[in-house]
Amino acid sequence: MPPGSSDPGRFLPLTPLDFQVLTLLASRELHGYGIVQSAGEAFPGQPSLDLGSLYRIISRMLAERLIHEVKAPGDAPADKRVRRYYAVTNLGRAVARAEAARLRALLASPATLILLESPR
């Protein structure tokens, strides 16, 4: 692996969807539908994850080692549908945190505050 690939800053800024996926997987292990479902609950009003985007994101994040596949938990539904569960890697968690911090700093900047508080 080339040097610097473990530097979280290298991945920033994240796209809104990448951030959603990473943040959700940082809190718990989820399968595909689980991610979609949780995203709808956790981030109402945000761009929603569709099937095509979701798996391209998963595919890319696996390749970038931001997430990894984990064993299905004991309470997983027992039918024939193939469900794989994913969780963040340490790098992935660090990247999500770095993005969150970046967003917080952005929102906390005086310029943003003035924008938000000024009448339209």
Partner 1 sequence: MKALGSRVVAALVSAFPSPFRERFGAEMLATYLDQRDSIAAGGNPHLDLWRHDARTVVSLFRALHAERRATSIRIHAINSRSTHRADPMSDFLFDLRLTFRSLRTRPGFAALAILTLALGIGANTAVFSVLNSVILSPLPYAEPGQLVRLYSAELRTLADKNYHSAPDIVDIRDQVSAFASVAIMGNYREQGADITTSDGHPERVRVLPVGADYFRTFGATPLLGATFTRDDERPGVRKVVISHALWQSFAAGNRNVIGRTVTFNGDSYEVVGVMRPTFSDLNGSDVAAWIPLNLAPGENSRGNHYLSAVARLRDGVTMAQARTQLEPLMRRIDEQFSEQGYYRAVNVVALHDDVVGSSSSAVYILMGAAGLVLLIACLNVANLFLARSVAQTRETAIRSALGAGRSRLIGARLSESLLIALIGGLVGSVTAYGGVKALLALSPESLARAEQLHFDPVLLGFALGITVLTGVLFGAAPAVRASRADPQDALHDASRGNTSGRGSRHVRSLLVASQVSVALVLLVGAGLLIQAFAAQLRRDPGFDPSNVMTFEVNLPNARYDSASRRVLLHEALQAKLRALPGVTNVGATSWLPTNGMYHSWGFSYLDAQGARQRTQGQVRVVDGDYLATLGIPLIAGRTFGSGDQLAAPGAALISQSLSRAAFAERDPLGQQFRTGGRDFTVVGVIADVASDASWATAPLVLLSHDQFADDRNWVLTYVVKSTLADDQVVQRARATLAEVDPALVLFRPQAMEAVMARHLARDRFVLVLMLIFGAVALSLAAVGVYGVLSYLVTQRHHEIGVRMALGAQPGQVRAIVMRQGLVVAGVGVVIGVAGAAALGGVLQSLAQGVQARDPLVFAGATLVLGVAVVLAGYLPTRRATRVSPLEALRND
Among 2-10, 52-60, 94-102, 105-113, the segment contacting partner 1 (CB under 8 A): 52-60
87 binds partner 1 per the rule CB under 8 A: no
Cβ proximity to partner 1: between 57 and 88 the closer is 57
89 binds partner 1 per the rule CB under 8 A: no
Q: How far is CA 56 from CA 50, 61, 104, 106, in A?
A: 10, 9, 27, 28
83 binds partner 1 per the rule CB under 8 A: yes
| Cα–Cα distance, 59 to 21 (Å, whole number) | 12
Q: Point out which residues bind partner 1 (CB under 8 A).
A: 31-33, 36-37, 50-56, 58-59, 81-84
